[in-house]
């Protein structure tokens, strides 16, 4: 195997570890805000590493552009979803009188 293949596998493996860490954080952390933080950060970095690893295996620049567009779309939707969940949580806390 070439060095590029090993590097690609290492990046995809590191991305997978970030996904696993985010999933563990989702299950183990105590409240919604810390869970959101762990999950969105780990998933964004994990997907970035996987996209980088896969882009080393592509046959042309258009495939790299497509992978980067998928990553950009995932970043956008992830941040929007995180904002909506956090906003709904804060609103529910205010309605019940738990501001902290």
Q: Are 46 and 19 in contact (CB under 8 A)?
A: yes
Confidence bin at 74 (pLDDT 50/70/90): very high
Positive or negative CA dihedral for 65, 66, 67, 71?
A: positive
Number of structural domains, the chain?
Answer: 1
Query: What percent of the chain stands above pLDDT 90?
Result: 68
Q: What is the mean pLDDT of the chain?
A: 91
For residue 82, give its domain range. Answer: 3-96
| Residues in CB range of 90: below 8 A, 6 or more apart | none
Q: What is the pTM of this model?
A: 0.85
- Cα 4 from Cα 89, distance rounded (Å): 45
How many C-alpha atoms does 64 have within 13 Å on its Cβ side? 9
pLDDT digits (tens, 9 = 90+) for 19-57: 999 999 889 999 988 898 888 889 999 999 999 999 999
| Residue 17: per-residue pLDDT | 96
């Amino acid at each position: 195997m070439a060095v590029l293949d090993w590097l690609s596998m290492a990046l995809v493996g590191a991305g997978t570890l970030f996904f696993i860490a985010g999933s563990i954080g989702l299950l183990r952390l105590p409240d919604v805000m810390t869970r959101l933080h762990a999950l969105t950060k780990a998933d964004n970095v994990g997907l970035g590493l996987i996209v980088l690893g896969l882009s080393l295996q592509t046959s042309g620049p258009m495939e790299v552009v497509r992978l980067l567009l998928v990553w950009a779309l995932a970043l956008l939707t992830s941040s929007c979803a995180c904002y909506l969940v956090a906003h709904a949580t804060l609103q529910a806390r205010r309605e019940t009188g738990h501001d902290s």
